[in-house]
């Protein structure tokens, strides 16, 4: 079951939200962030999750496997301009990489990009030096 922090649940329930969609989008240092919206159409591309909240919880079918046993915590942090903004921290056993601020993540560890030609040149340069 997808779990939301108590303060976020309280705010949505206090605002009389009837449905909430949780979804991933591409952004941040690690490549993925999470967001929520209350104004959306229910379609065949989203699933309703089991929920203990007073609102219905929906997720895109493509994201369901990652969201079913996850936890989302909302934090309010000042951005580079000093303006306070809500951000979501996604926690799951499926996360393999996370940026320093914690809001972006990846489900796979990044593979370092290696330029093999440059590596060969470096090796040759070291071979040619009598160290």
| Whole-angstrom distance, CA of residue 74 vs CA of residue 9 | 10
Residue 89 CB neighbour total at 10 angstroms: 17
Give the pLDDT band (50/70/90) at residue 118: confident
What pLDDT, on the 0 to 100 scale, is given for residue 69? 87
For residue 59, pLDDT beyond 60: yes
Q: What is the mean pLDDT of residues 34-40?
A: 94
> Whose CA is closest to 102, among 62, 72, 65?
72
Give the pLDDT band (50/70/90) at residue 129: low
**16 against 98, higher pLDDT:** 16
0.85 cut: is pTM over it? no
Class of domain 3-128: mainly beta
Q: What is the mean pLDDT of residues 14-39?
A: 92
Three-state secondary-structure class, residue 6: helix
Give the pLDDT band (50/70/90) at residue 131: low
What pLDDT, on the 0 to 100 scale, is given for residue 130? 60
The pair of three-digit structure tokens given for residue 50, joined into one six-digit string: 């089991």
For residue 25, pLDDT beyond 80: yes
Give the pLDDT band (50/70/90) at residue 95: confident
Three-state secondary-structure class, residue 66: helix
| Whole-angstrom distance, CA of residue 24 vs CA of residue 46 | 13
Specify whether the CB–CB gap between 101 and 27 falls below 8 A: no
Sequence ranges of the domains in the chain: 3-128
Specify whether the CB–CB gap between 58 and 70 falls below 8 A: no
Q: What is the average pLDDT value for the chain, to the nearest integer?
A: 88
């Amino acid at each position: 079951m997808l779990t939301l922090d108590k303060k976020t649940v309280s705010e949505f329930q206090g605002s009389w939200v009837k449905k909430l969609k949780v979804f991933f989008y591409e952004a941040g240092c690690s490549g993925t962030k999470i967001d929520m919206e209350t104004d959306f159409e229910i379609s065949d591309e989203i699933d309703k999750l089991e929920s203990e909240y007073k609102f219905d919880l929906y997720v895109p079918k493509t994201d369901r496997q990652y969201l079913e046993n996850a936890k989302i915590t909302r934090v309010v942090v000042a951005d580079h301009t000093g303006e306070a903004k809500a951000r979501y921290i996604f926690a799951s056993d499926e996360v393999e990489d996370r940026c320093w601020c914690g809001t972006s993540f990846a489900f796979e560890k990044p593979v370092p990009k290696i330029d093999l030609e440059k590596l060969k040149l470096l090796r040759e340069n070291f071979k040619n030096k009598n160290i």
